[in-house]
A and B are shown apart, each in its own frame.
Chain A
């Protein structure tokens, strides 16, 4: 288990006073009761639990500004939270921090079809944006699997993706502007309805900053016209290598599918047993390829993809003939996590990205790691963009299994980095992968990132203990070491 920064006893001793100060800002929005605070004790990374010292639920930007300004002045840490669905512990509370819940920011403020934007409050769920515009034939493209629950503010913090991001991009490619409150209470607007920033692209670095740079209080997103048609094809292969080659051949044919997912045999069987989507059970790998666009395009490309499958030795191939059938094809994939949950008491979802050409080798080495750690693994995979989601099966009630699952997960992520990939494709670093950051970045690389943090929050009060493995003081980071190589800063705490 990872360690969080030690709680500050002086802050804990002031709990009642802090609660009164926050209640003066939001009279009906402060939670101090220990039982009531349990609701917030974890996010989607459920292995980690820690109730916050206090929770506060503001309604307005002005209140957020006052809360942050007060906490800044008093040196109190703040952990922002959207819907609390982070899979990496991005919203994990701290014992001595105020949890800033944004759920009351739940209004769609404006929809502008001429400029194809929606202006929403950050607590609006991802799916609600699409629901607000679908009657006019529009939708919001990023669709993380948690889209019925996850909030747009959380999506901005995590730069959330989804199964369609190969073609339509992540959150960062679909957000045009934010209103944001800095830790000192200042309110800034970054971006807007114009496409380009006036100066540095600060919005670009805020998206995906995991709640470390500011608290977003309004978001302007791009909405897209819904494609005329979407069709999916299920293609089974006798080996992962053949499925992988088919994926490469689809891209080489100039086709960027709306979604291209792969599942390995354990994942196929778990999903089929749970949902009954009609997946073939006698294959080693299954591809779901979705094409969207004008009918003529969809139908043309479906034929191309089928042919590519055949050339790579596919043993089964089914094309959706109705919207209902397309959704059934997806139902199994979308339920893969809970399906795996049925065959194992607990599972741990990883999120590395690799260059796709390394897939067969990575899966083989993952099998060997599975034997070494004595834990099974099922794989679902955003095949188009190389984003792996290995699901490690374990039982938290068995002594040491969680630790083994974490060790296995860390080995998988090291493997992803070793082959030229990254620690996380869409779930974020959070707490979970924090201590693995040095696998991917040198100390110098990380310090360049941390100085950006210092530009936004020099006291390091916002969401501490996330993303960065070593807590450098900003004054130390700012010093120039003209002749310096790597400075170890041995006196600084490493959690």
Chain B
């Protein structure tokens, strides 16, 4: 279905709750292959489209959750601004989908994730009620910070209809410097040293033996900071097109791998994890994010868990997704708490479609 208004959406969700039906919220539907194969009724949010308020001087943008991400990115770029968490997605990705899936790019290591830039939202909960969370100003501590729960919720709590994001000035200059041929441990060490230095590194990643550090900012500042990185051994300057290819590659890492994992780790443990030889990998966020192609789910989860992190299965054949939960299992008390929070927003389990292979928690 394709609700045309909040009222339609309220009716659809309340109706599903009353009759025990399941609904899956879809923005552009570009991440439908994440999670177990499932036969569900889709709620397409594309009608909730368009910019509602954008005043660049306030650093705040409010738009319908179904607004294409590309449209928002073009708009803020035209005003010399950006979404600093560096979202990305396939053609058709929406703002709401980007928020719900918690999509943050390479700059996350320096400027924070979606959750750090989501100021407020409007949504319809699994109770079939429209409500707001957060607000439309950059600094707010009034009530619980529900926007944090929205980011990365994968549509399991409520259907976002409107989101308010913090926007930031787009840096006028950037430069990428690289060191070649480092082993994983040396790459992580260089990235850690650079991120812990006064060079204010915006992004740090390692792909196929190239350890790259990105600087952003005003011209005189970027020039001064380049010298710091060169002194650390990142001396090769990537051309603009080389840099573009490098960083874009991290938005669609290992495109040919049939099974792809996204690991979130303490950066200092990344070399140990990729050193297990489980498969081809890419490191981002100074090592705190690792993309890993490996068909052995148990081995990946064990390695990530042992390193104090976790692994999300983001791509796999249907049979594997039917067997392996997309999200990393958590300790019992945390899982129980998470289920109680889900029940708070969705008591009848309307949004519990089996996508994440979790047990029913509904009333």
Contact = CB atoms under 8 A, between A and B. Distances in A.
Interface of A: 112-116, 137-138, 158-159, 161, 165-166, 169-170, 172-173, 182, 186-190, 192-205, 207-209, 225-228, 248, 251-256, 293-297, 299-301, 353-357, 382, 385-387, 420-429, 433, 437, 440-442, 444-446, 448-449, 451-456, 467, 478, 480, 482
Given A202-B337, A225-B196, A295-B224, A195 B125 contact: no
Nearest to A486: B129
B244 interface: no
Interface in B322-363: 327-328, 330-331, 333-335, 337-338, 340-345, 347-348, 363
B291 interface: no
Given A159-B141, A225-B196, A248-B57, A200 B152 contact: yes
Contact of B198 (A197, A294, A355): A294
Contacts of A297: 217-218, 220-221, 224
Given A199-B338, A204-B145, A455-B341, A424 B132 contact: no
A242 to B, nearest CB: 15
A353 B139 contact: yes
Given A173-B112, A193-B308, A357-B57, A254 B144 contact: no
B143 interface: yes
Contacts of A454: 340, 344
B337 A252 contact: no
Of B108, B143, B196, B285, most buried by chain A (CB within 10 Å of CB) is B143
A192 B189 CA distance: 20
A228 B228 CA distance: 12
Contact of B224 (A138, A294, A357): A294
A300 B221 contact: yes
Nearest to A209: B144
A356 B345 CA distance: 33
Given A114-B268, A452-B344, A425 B224 contact: no
B56 A252 contact: yes
A423 to B, nearest CB: 5
A115 B139 contact: no
Interface in B279-307: 285, 288-289
B197 A225 contact: yes
Contact of A441 (B108, B132, B338, B363): B132
A428 B127 CA distance: 28
B137 A200 contact: no
Interface in B257-296: 264-268, 285, 288-289
A184 B310 CA distance: 27
Contacts of A169: 112, 116
Contacts of B139: 161, 165-166, 170, 353, 382, 385-387, 425-426
Contacts of B80: 254
B18 interface: yes
